[in-house]
Structure 1
């Protein structure tokens, strides 16, 4: 496994290798509770040393899928394999899998070191080996000075690290994390995301995390599985999920997006034309639509790919990939400003502008008449 420094994670993509064998396999797994289908026919392969995120809204089935892997629930149908071996009938304590719960589930009457040692004692490990393992875990999560403290004497971030150390102490093949950072404040959550990434790479473990936080999944994951109503609707790398969503649902769920409904048709020289008469807009892209057929579709474009200006864009084709509007709202976030622009038909489009200078006043302000424009490769036509 090769590592790189800086923001690029690593050259790691076993899912592109047809000879690679998955560490975890869900084969057409379904889980029903009475008449309610929580997970419906999910097939998924996760590879050794992969950091995989299950992402979706509450109730979409992601935690149920994880609990079946941990052994807390049994599939109604289908099978789950770990290293090629079926897990059916194997109790949770016999699986080389550990789960870190959202609540952390620490023992309040035990010190930090005793919380970490608990599972090792349950397994009958020798005293000297337990002490060495606990010291190793404390060093790993940077909690050596807090070994004798009780959970109520720790901050939320420190309790999260204790729970992580306890989960890692038994050296599982797979670590399952259920909304592990939900109790942390925004800044600490961002810091902990990178710490988890570094820790996972150093230990060489397989991590499966359940989250509804898109930013969390995008930051940490090698791949993301987006779930909706018990089904996996797209599995891809964070960049592919963001830039190449396969449906309106995924495009709308991940990050900010402008979705413009219209009628599409293939262009003679290649590419696609979408006409949205209600908005007074024509979109042309270099993207070829499947089968070259006409029909109703959506043009999806991220706000940061939309240019906003007071003057009509020079050199643009008349009425193509540009539209006039009025600034309705401005959200100032420090690093960027989000402009909500009301179009003639009442619809609203968003444009994001990076605040690259320290100007307090804005060149574009409320109620200004503005133009929005974008390049031919900035957006995506979605037919699903």
Structure 2
């Protein structure tokens, strides 16, 4: 399959067989009593990569981050950073720094003092501390707020102070544990791009833990989707979205329609699946299931068209239905179309023009259809 690389920049050391990972989790397991938080996990992360650990609460992503930081120790396995095993190395001697969701700022200290705290603990000379703090304030654009206390700042400003303090010691790796969770939607979106620019300018390795799919898709070079202590898929955001390797990933990342049926034909690099309701679906496949075996096809809502008339080529990749629900979201309109067998298909249409003549309405009979390359075969 042709690689769907990062849209943001040309950066893909993981595709180079000669590249050595900067961080390597080697068969790492972490148990808390009878509960296994991380289960025999192996994962490679490369220098200057913005890497996201994505998953629902309890999947093990924060535990993985805390083991890298040194706040937790693996039950078994090893973590290697820049060629050195981290076994037995305490948190304060590791070349990493962690930024927490709560920010953990000292309320009685000024912005300037908060940023300088770790440098003072390390015994850095005062002139160098002053210079470093000034650099960090400029980096996060808070020069005018140096004398303020945390309670005098907005949520976004406190987030920047915590970021500056984390970067002041110039770690090799910055760990971010749900760092934007306390921000409102608009500020969170703005901060995502600021973090991306900052990471590229500094040339550091960033690892972010998040349960927000959009956040991971926006910022990361690669994403590791986790479930029950295991990594289910590691790939670029585009590959995760367009070519999920399982039903779990397809359903977890964005919206998706799942069509199930029996494989009835394989010819010319395409698989034909017939659903129980009689819908015929054709999709390209280099490794299709055998004829007669179950076939599971995933199709994203934005790849499905809703029309009044039957599309050319019907009934392949097409079905007749009735509009059940309509959601107007401003930039797009979402349709829920009820098919003859009672199942509902979700389709979305971009509102590219201000007004639409004779728009589709509730209870209207319509056709849904999609191109053959819009569907992805799922393995489980």
Q: TM-score, normalised by structure 2?
A: 0.96
Aligned 1:291-370 pairs, distance under 5 A: 292-313=290-311, 315-316=312-313, 318-359=314-355, 363-370=359-366
> What is the CA RMSD across the aligned residues, in angstroms?
1.3
Q: Give the C-alpha shift of residue 362 in structure 1.
A: 5.6
2:373 alignment partner, one of 359, 370, 377: 377
Runs of 4 or more, structure 1, over 6 Å off, are none
Q: Is the 8 A contact 1:266 1:289 kept in 2?
A: no
Q: Distance in 2 between matches of 1:48 and 1:110?
A: 34
Q: Give the C-alpha shift of residue 287 in structure 1.
A: 1.7
Q: Distance in 2 between matches of 1:54 and 1:128?
A: 38
Q: Which residue of 1 aligns with 2:284?
A: 286
Q: Which residue of 1 aligns with 2:3?
A: none
Aligned 1:146-295 pairs, distance under 5 A: 146-278=145-277, 280-290=278-288, 292-295=290-293
Q: Distance in 2 between matches of 1:185 and 1:173?
A: 29
Q: Give the C-alpha shift of residue 281 in structure 1.
A: 1.0
Pair 360,155 (structure 1): closer, same or farther in 2 beyond 3 Å: farther
Pair 81,362 (structure 1): closer, same or farther in 2 beyond 3 Å: farther
Q: Give the C-alpha shift of residue 9 in structure 1.
A: 2.2
Instruction: Say whether 1:20 aligns with 2:16.
Output: no
Q: Give the C-alpha shift of residue 262 in structure 1.
A: 1.2
Q: Is the 8 A contact 1:296 1:383 kept in 2?
A: no
Q: Give the C-alpha shift of residue 184 in structure 1.
A: 0.7
Q: Is the 8 A contact 1:108 1:152 kept in 2?
A: yes
Q: Is the 8 A contact 1:54 1:224 kept in 2?
A: yes
Q: Distance in 2 between matches of 1:91 and 1:139?
A: 31
Q: Which residue of 2 aligns with 1:41?
A: 40
Q: Is the 8 A contact 2:271 2:285 kept in 1?
A: yes
Q: Give the C-alpha shift of residue 270 in structure 1.
A: 2.7
Q: Is the 8 A contact 2:266 2:291 kept in 1?
A: no
Q: Distance in 2 between matches of 1:80 and 1:46?
A: 11
Stretch moving more, 290-299 or 333-342: 290-299
Q: What is the SS of the residue equivalent to 2:115?
A: helix
Q: Distance in 1 between matches of 2:268 and 2:129?
A: 69
Q: Distance in 2 between matches of 1:150 and 1:362?
A: 57
Q: Is the 8 A contact 2:263 2:289 kept in 1?
A: no
Q: What is the SS of the residue equivalent to 1:277?
A: coil
- In structure 1, stretches of 5+ residues that fail to align are 1-6
Q: Distance in 1 between matches of 2:234 and 2:254?
A: 16
Q: Is the 8 A contact 2:273 2:282 kept in 1?
A: yes
- In structure 2, stretches of 5+ residues that fail to align are 1-5
Q: Distance in 1 between matches of 2:165 and 2:89?
A: 22
Aligned 1:60-209 pairs, distance under 5 A: 60-209=59-208
User: Cα deviations across residues 224-262 of structure 1 (Å, max 9, x unaligned)?
Assistant: 000000000000000000000000000000001001121
User: Cα deviations across residues 8-59 of structure 1 (Å, max 9, x unaligned)?
Assistant: 4221111111111111000000000111100001101100100000000000
Pair 149,274 (structure 1): closer, same or farther in 2 beyond 3 Å: same
User: Cα deviations across residues 178-214 of structure 1 (Å, max 9, x unaligned)?
Assistant: 0001111111111100000000000000000000000
Q: Distance in 2 between matches of 1:118 and 1:231?
A: 37
Q: Distance in 2 between matches of 1:360 and 1:293?
A: 44
Q: Distance in 2 between matches of 1:235 and 1:8?
A: 16
Alignment: residue pair count: 375
Q: Distance in 1 between matches of 2:340 and 2:356?
A: 29
